[in-house]
Structure formats: C-alpha cells, structure tokens
Amino acid sequence: MSLADHWIENHKRDSWRRQAKASGYRSRSAFKLKQIQERFNLISKGDVILDVGCHPGGWAQVATELVGTDGWVIGVDLEACQRVEGAVLMVGDITEPHVQQRVLLELNDRPLNSIISDISPNITGKWDMDQAIAMNLVSLVFDFSLPLLTKGGSFVTKLFQGVGVEELIEVIRPFFYDVRRYSPHASRNSSSEVYLICINFMPWKFRKVSVLKKYEAALNLKLSGDDIAEAPDIITSSFSMRKKKGE
C-alpha cells in the first residue's frame, strides 16, 4: 500500500471517529451496526440481543435504540463498559463456561432474536496466527449462542479475511435461510475486515452440531485432504482465548 493510500485510510478512519464523537456514540463501530441495520433490517422493537465483544459499548448503544424500551441487550466483553441504558453489560470471556452461565441466567429461558458479534481477539501482530485465533473465537461464539437463537433470528459477526472463511461459511450456511458477506462503509477502510450476515435461523437444521468441530474438520480437509463427512457432531471444546493484560 502506498503512502497516499495510508493517508486516505487514516483520514476516513478519523472521519468516522469524529462522527462517533459528535453523535454521542462511544465507537466508530457504532456506524457499522447502523449501516448493517439499514441494509438488512435485522433488529426490531422488543428484541432480545446478545452483543459479543461489546466494549466500549457503541453497538450496545445502537442496539438499545433499535430494540426500544420493550427490548433488551445483553453484552459481554473482557473489558468493563460504562453503563448503557437498556443493556446489561457483563465483564468476562465469552468462551468461559462460567461467563456463558451468567448469560443464560440473565436470559432466564428467553430466546435471542439476534446475536451481534464485533469480537476481535487481542492482536499478537502475527497476522496468520491472529486471523486463525479470530476464526476459532467466532466458531466458539456460534457454538455457545446458536442454541439460544430463536427461529427466524439473525447472527452478525465480524470476520478477518483469510484462511478458513469459506469453510466457516459453508458450515453455517445450512442453518440459515441466507448467509452473506457485507462491508459497511464505516469499515471499508479496513481491507481485512468483513461482516458475516446470517439471516433467518432454522433451528431444526442445527441440532447437536458443533460449528467449531465442523469448521476444524473442513479446514483439515482443505489443508490435508481429510473428509468433512467424518466431522463429529458433538459440542465440546477445550479452546480458550488468551486474555488481555491485567485480566
């Protein structure tokens, strides 16, 4: 990338940051969710939403506006967020069973209408490794949250372009009426980032499927020629994310 391209990228990023500040949103990411909503209309008044990787709370702000006073947003992040009216924002690692348990307690058997995940793992700087960790993390979020999603519900997640994206899409495609990639204007300055928009969940197609295991099997098939048809269907994983300093 040339110096001029870098300048344009930084300029666009700053412009979204300035807009976020002026509008009262805590992150420029807030505009990404707004643009996703404008395009796909996934969130409605009264919905129950799980916001994964919610710090500093920009998506939670947008989501609470969209669900209104009858709706409800539950957020989880490794870092503590300032309060957002209409949201319960928890601190914890979404891949940890005790954190998942807290989400379940909070839901108290109410199904989710949407899962919105802007999760990004702590960056090590080694692109291949970071991208692979991000793909595993997204698979784990699918495994935890899809059983909680209601019929017709939606799942939005950030992905980083690279190895495994096609394989993950093929694993989850059968569970939704439509799965597509989308780059909101607010993230078009980041060439590696894309959002996966999964629309109209069909729970009867999902039963007892581990997205992580299927994804790993599909990746192995690509890399070494294993057979995806032999992928196990049981949900369990020992994968856990590295926490940020001070956690």
Ligand X SMILES: C[S@@+](CC[C@H](N)C(=O)[O-])C[C@H]1O[C@@H](n2cnc3c(N)ncnc32)[C@H](O)[C@@H]1O
Please report, as ranges, the residues that interact with ligand X according to CB under 6 A. 26-27, 29-30, 53-59, 76-79, 93-95, 118-121, 241
Instruction: Supply the minimum distance, in Å, between the C-beta of residue 196 and ligand X.
Output: 15
Tell me if residue 136 falls in helix, strand or coil.
helix
Instruction: Supply the minimum distance, in Å, between the C-beta of residue 241 and ligand X.
Output: 4
DSSP assignment of 81-113 equals ----TTEEEEES-TTSHHHHHHHHHHHTTPPEE
Contact 229, 246 (CB under 8 A): no
Instruction: Supply the minimum distance, in Å, between the C-beta of residue 197 and ligand X.
Output: 15
Instruction: Supply the minimum distance, in Å, between the C-beta of residue 161 and ligand X.
Output: 16
Q: Which of 32, 34, 151, 158 is catalytic?
A: 158
∠ at Cα 94 (89, 95), nearest 5°? 170
**Choice between 78 and 135, CB closer to ligand X:** 78
**Choice between 56 and 164, CB closer to ligand X:** 56
Residues written for the chain: 247
Give CA separation, 88 vs 16, 49, 54, 82, in Å.
Answer: 26, 10, 11, 10
d(CA 215, CA 117) in angstroms, rounded, equals 18
Contact 39, 182 (CB under 8 A): yes
**Choice between 26 and 213, CB closer to ligand X:** 26
**Choice between 49 and 231, CB closer to ligand X:** 49
Task: Assess whether 158 carries a catalytic annotation.
Answer: yes
* Cα–Cα nearest to 141, from 164, 111, 172: 172
d(CA 25, CA 57) in angstroms, rounded, equals 8
**Choice between 57 and 71, CB closer to ligand X:** 57
Contact 132, 163 (CB under 8 A): yes
Catalytic residues: 158
